[in-house]
């Protein structure tokens, strides 16, 4: 019999949690520019493109769009899935749909597998943390994909026998390892008495293995061993530059199959290889899948996923693993606790001696948090550890109050004290969540303690301390800082980890008092929208009063307010009062008072001084009047709050500038156009003036689109056309606004009634843009067109012949082949 050939391509898609643990906001990450953070950047470069991967025809036009997730094997980390669900619901839905569709076609075996929850190195964790990671990863998978996972990805494929045993206990059937993690193999035999063959060279990855972790017949987990050389070629050797070369390399990996025995080639890489690490890598992957799926050769390679293959071809070999080994450290798991030499690259003078004190400090903190949890938990929870394992339900439902109430109903000890007991229980559980997050593997993987990932882990530690400190007289911060003093960053920003902590952790916390200062500043400056980003905190204003030196002038003024602060995750509430003295600049003096134990200081004295002697005198007297208050300033506010306040202050200035620029452009546009053609280089003032005028004029032209009205294409052509002399063709805002306008027009196509000229307007607009802006990115608009033609059949029934022609022309402008468009318009 011919040997069946199977191919599995596994993608490990993962990003660590990035939200500030006090607020729920992902801070801006300048290194991800032009995107606000790395999640957003990699989503646009990888996660979304793999759900809508292009296959081009011989003319370079889009002939097919493929959802790669349907044909590969993949895991998506729960923290990334949560982010995608909130920020890119369309891609999240396509990933879930891919698993569901593939499972229907492959005997119920979908391509998705679970992942240990927040990517901790399992061999370095205690048994309880290992179990929680597995339980949470499994439950999150079930809530996302609507089925139980058959496989589970171990972070960095770091493995030990205890982890395998716990995975099996939770119903997991298999995991994926690297070739170097297998110590020895032997034929699978019920007596288990056959001799082992040491894996002196990398073990054969072309079939699965069974690993026993105990003496019982069922004490095993099956493992797949990915093909290291081919996977490395994908990840590091530019194999994705050419889909055909990719397929040829895979064919070579099958070697000489054994007659009648199935042969498996399986690859495993970071999913980011397909589009983020290698631009257009998702297209090479889509071409590979399409070539195999469209082949009519019965001997052709069959696409499969791990669960499907295992159901058809169980292991015939047993394997021993190297415990405490991983796929990305030649020294086992030392990369996550010592200066083993494994690194990303960079300055050869750098070292990773900081890894050990960071690990030791967090280990010691974790143990203190366990002691607190086990001592305090039974006072409010029936079974604290069972409650922790079930706490994933709060994360799955994004802390929806009904879901949290249901959770508390299952676990809160009867008669333990109502809301106060619930708040204590939630604070303890949240501190345990932070304890898990602070061991996210990325904190040790890269080269510098002052990098994004170690800082993020330390912020989780800081939040854990904030939540747990009220339960113990011990200083939880001091012992950690002692160890961090021994951790020396490679970059010169901080002398040691303690300095880093004080700047990057303590300065980022948002306790009740700090939160009150954010609210007081926003309330005093009439910018409540500045607080809309803060997901983990909420405010209820009880009283507010503002007096100004002159009626109707925003500055200077004095604000006095009272409000309640609530942590949405722990339900802890505190009352506070705040006084804000705002002066020109603006300069803010913010004083916060604890109002939980009675009335705060009276406002009248400060008000009298402000009105009679002025803001300068009051500012110098504030400390003497209110020595018990906690003081803040504009500089101490979080970026989004500060930005909203400054934007509000500058709004009138910007409106005046806009009006002036509009008038100036209209009066001098012909002269400006001629001036822009002069041969000598523009100085900075020329560039600034032209940019401001062009952007303002563009905004005026595109303004009708906000109301769904057509824009004046002639004015737009005059602005950005070839005869404008380059006045504004290089202004980035044109590309951004143009993309928004096209999206709006596509959205209007799906809604009725539509303007009769809508399709013609869209076509003319696209033609104009494409003729002038050569590098305009139509990716999202292509996706809209694809969805429109694939999922809106009712639309075409209502279209006349001329509209169909317009729709076909729109497809050509967007880069679709005639065959693609005509097949869907037929």
How many DSSP H helices and E strands does the chain contain?
31, 19
**What 3-state class would DSSP assign to 575?**
strand
Q: Which long-range contacts (CB under 8 A, 24 or more apart) does 573-580 make?
A: 574/512, 575/542, 576/512, 576/513, 576/516, 576/600, 577/601, 578/516, 578/517, 578/519, 578/520, 578/523, 579/520, 579/603, 579/606, 579/622, 579/626, 579/629, 580/520, 580/521, 580/523, 580/524
d(CA 138, CA 115) in angstroms, rounded, equals 7
The reported pLDDT for the residue numbered 169 is 97
Under the banding of pLDDT at 50, 70 and 90, the label for residue 732 is low
The reported pLDDT for the residue numbered 631 is 92
Least confidently predicted of 191-195, 355-359, 396-400, 783-787:
191-195
Residue 557 is given by DSSP the state E
- Mean pLDDT along residues 14-30: 90
Least confidently predicted of 273-277, 381-385, 456-460, 560-564:
560-564
Q: Which region, left, alpha or beta, applies to residue 748 given φ > 0 means left and ψ of -120 to 50 means alpha? A: alpha
The reported pLDDT for the residue numbered 676 is 61
**What 3-state class would DSSP assign to 337?**
coil
Residue 239, classified by CB atoms within 10 Å of its CB into exposed (0-12), middle (13-18) or buried (19+), is buried
Q: Residue 600: pLDDT above 80?
A: no
Beta-bridge partner residues of 54: 65
Q: For 675-713, how does the pLDDT look when each residue is reduced to its tens digit (9 = 90+)?
A: 665 555 556 676 677 777 777 887 888 788 777 778 888
Under the banding of pLDDT at 50, 70 and 90, the label for residue 754 is low
- Whether pTM exceeds 0.85: yes
Question: pLDDT higher for 619 or 199?
Answer: 619
Residue 170 is given by DSSP the state T
Under the banding of pLDDT at 50, 70 and 90, the label for residue 414 is confident
Average pLDDT, the chain: 90
- The candidate with the shortest Cα–Cα distance to 151, out of 174, 183, 129, is 174
- Mean pLDDT along residues 462-488: 97
The reported pLDDT for the residue numbered 796 is 66
Q: Which two tokens stand for residue 498?
A: 């303690």
**What 3-state class would DSSP assign to 714?**
helix
The reported pLDDT for the residue numbered 733 is 65
Q: What share of the chain has pLDDT > 70, as a percent?
A: 93
- Mean pLDDT along residues 731-760: 74
- Mean pLDDT along residues 1-21: 91
Question: pLDDT higher for 315 or 552?
Answer: 315
Under the banding of pLDDT at 50, 70 and 90, the label for residue 264 is very high
Q: For 525-567, how does the pLDDT look when each residue is reduced to its tens digit (9 = 90+)?
A: 888 888 887 888 888 888 888 888 555 566 788 999 999 989 9
Q: Residue 379: pLDDT above 80?
A: yes
Q: For 293-302, how does the pLDDT look when each residue is reduced to its tens digit (9 = 90+)?
A: 999 887 789 9
Cα–chain center distance at 772: 34
The reported pLDDT for the residue numbered 271 is 97
The reported pLDDT for the residue numbered 718 is 77
Q: Residue 723: pLDDT above 60?
A: no
Q: Which two tokens stand for residue 17?
A: 């949690």
Q: For 367-376, how does the pLDDT look when each residue is reduced to its tens digit (9 = 90+)?
A: 999 999 999 9
Q: For 111-153, how does the pLDDT look when each residue is reduced to its tens digit (9 = 90+)?
A: 999 999 999 999 999 999 999 999 999 999 999 999 999 999 9
Q: Which residue has the tokens 């044109």?
A: 734
Under the banding of pLDDT at 50, 70 and 90, the label for residue 731 is low
- The candidate with the shortest Cα–Cα distance to 123, out of 156, 171, 91, is 156
Contact status, residue 133 vs residue 78, Cβ threshold 8 Å: no
- Mean pLDDT along residues 167-171: 98
Beta strands in 159-250 (DSSP E): 174-177, 182-187, 197-198, 209-212, 220-225
Q: Residue 801: pLDDT above 90?
A: no
Q: Residue 734: pLDDT above 90?
A: no
Q: Residue 289: pLDDT above 90?
A: yes
Contact status, residue 361 vs residue 477, Cβ threshold 8 Å: no
Contacts of 585 (CB under 8 A, 6+ apart): 634
- Mean pLDDT along residues 363-388: 98
């Amino acid at each position: 019999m011919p040997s069946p050939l199977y191919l599995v391509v596994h993608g490990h898609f993962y990003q660590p949690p990035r939200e500030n643990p006090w607020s729920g906001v992902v801070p801006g990450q300048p290194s991800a520019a032009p995107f606000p953070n790395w999640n957003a950047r990699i989503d646009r470069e990888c996660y979304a493109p793999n759900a809508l991967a292009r296959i081009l025809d011989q003319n370079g036009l889009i002939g097919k769009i493929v959802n790669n997730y349907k044909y590969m094997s993949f895991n998506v980390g729960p923290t990334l899935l949560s982010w995608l669900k909130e920020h890119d619901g369309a891609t999240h839905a396509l990933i879930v749909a891919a698993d569901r569709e593939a499972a229907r076609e492959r005997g119920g075996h979908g391509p998705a597998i679970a992942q240990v929850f927040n990517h901790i190195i399992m061999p370095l964790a205690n048994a309880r943390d290992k179990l929680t990671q597995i339980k949470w990863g499994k439950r999150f998978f079930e809530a996302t994909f609507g089925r139980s996972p058959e496989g589970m990805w171990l972070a960095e494929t770091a493995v030990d026998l205890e982890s395998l045993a716990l995975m099996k206990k939770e119903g997991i059937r298999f995991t994926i390892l690297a070739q170097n993690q297998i110590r020895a193999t032997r034929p699978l035999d019920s007596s288990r008495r056959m001799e082992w063959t040491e894996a002196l060279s990398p073990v054969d990855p072309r079939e699965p293995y069974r690993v026993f972790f105990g003496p019982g017949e069922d004490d095993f987990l099956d493992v797949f061993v990915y093909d290291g050389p081919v996977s490395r070629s994908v990840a590091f050797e530019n194999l994705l530059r050419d889909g055909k070369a990719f397929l040829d390399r895979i064919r070579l990996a099958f070697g000489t199959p054994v007659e009648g025995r199935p042969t498996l080639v399986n690859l495993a890489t970071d999913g980011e290889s397909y589009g983020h690490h290698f631009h257009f890598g998702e297209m090479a992957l889509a071409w590979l899948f399409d070539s195999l799926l469209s082949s009519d050769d019965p001997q052709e390679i069959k696409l499969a996923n791990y669960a499907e293959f295992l159901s058809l071809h169980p292991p015939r070999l047993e394997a021993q693993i190297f415990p405490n080994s991983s796929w990305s450290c030649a020294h086992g798991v030392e990369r996550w606790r010592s200066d083993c030499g494994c690194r990303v690259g960079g300055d050869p003078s750098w070292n990773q001696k900081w890894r050990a004190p960071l690990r030791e400090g967090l280990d010691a903190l974790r143990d203190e948090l366990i002691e607190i949890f086990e001592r305090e938990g039974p006072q409010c929870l029936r079974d604290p550890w069972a409650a922790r394992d079930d706490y994933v339900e709060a994360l799955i439902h994004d802390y929806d109050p009904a879901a949290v109430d249901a959770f508390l109903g299952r676990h809160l000890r009867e008669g333990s004290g109502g809301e106060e007991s619930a708040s204590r229980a939630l604070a303890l559980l949240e501190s345990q969540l932070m304890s898990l997050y602070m061991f996210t593997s990325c904190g040790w993987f890269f080269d510098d303690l002052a990098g994004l990932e170690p800082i993020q882990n330390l912020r989780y530690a800081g939040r854990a301390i904030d939540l747990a400190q009220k339960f113990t007289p011990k200083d939880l911060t001091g012992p950690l800082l002692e160890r961090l003093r021994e951790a020396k960053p490679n970059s010169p920003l901080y002398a040691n980890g303690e300095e880093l902590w004080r700047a990057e952790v303590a300065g980022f916390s948002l306790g009740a008092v700090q939160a009150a200062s954010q609210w007081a500043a926003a309330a005093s400056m009439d910018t409540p929208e500045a607080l809309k980003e803060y997901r983990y905190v909420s405010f209820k204003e009880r009283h507010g009063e503002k007096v100004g030196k002159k009626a109707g002038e925003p500055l200077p003024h004095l604000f006095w307010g009272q409000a309640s602060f609530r942590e949405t995750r722990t339900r802890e509430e505190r009352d506070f009062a705040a006084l804000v003295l705002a002066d020109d600049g603006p300069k803010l003096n913010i004083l916060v008072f604890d109002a939980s134990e009675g009335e705060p200081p009276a406002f009248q004295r400060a008000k009298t001084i402000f009105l009679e002697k002025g803001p300068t005198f009051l500012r110098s007297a504030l400390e003497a009047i209110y020595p018990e208050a906690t003081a803040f300033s504009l500089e101490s506010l979080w970026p989004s709050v500060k930005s909203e306040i400054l934007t509000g202050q500058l709004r009138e200035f910007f409106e005046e500038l806009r009006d002036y620029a509009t008038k100036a452009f209209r009066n001098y546009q012909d002269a400006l156009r001629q001036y822009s053609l002069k041969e000598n280089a523009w100085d900075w003032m020329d560039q600034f003036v032209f940019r401001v005028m062009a952007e303002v004029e563009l905004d005026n032209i595109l303004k009708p689109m906000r109301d769904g009205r057509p824009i004046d294409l002639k004015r737009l052509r005059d602005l950005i056309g070839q005869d404008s002399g380059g006045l504004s063709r290089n202004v980035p805002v044109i590309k951004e606004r143009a993309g928004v306008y096209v999206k709006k027009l596509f959205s209007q196509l799906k809604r009725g009634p539509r303007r009769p000229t809508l399709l013609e307007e869209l076509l003319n607009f696209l033609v104009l843009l494409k003729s002038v802006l050569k590098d305009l990115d139509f990716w999202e608009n292509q996706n809209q067109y694809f969805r429109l033609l694939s999922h809106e059949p009712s639309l075409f029934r209502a279209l006349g012949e001329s509209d169909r022609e317009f729709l076909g022309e729109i497809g050509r402008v967007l880069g679709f082949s005639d065959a693609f468009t005509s097949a869907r318009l037929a």
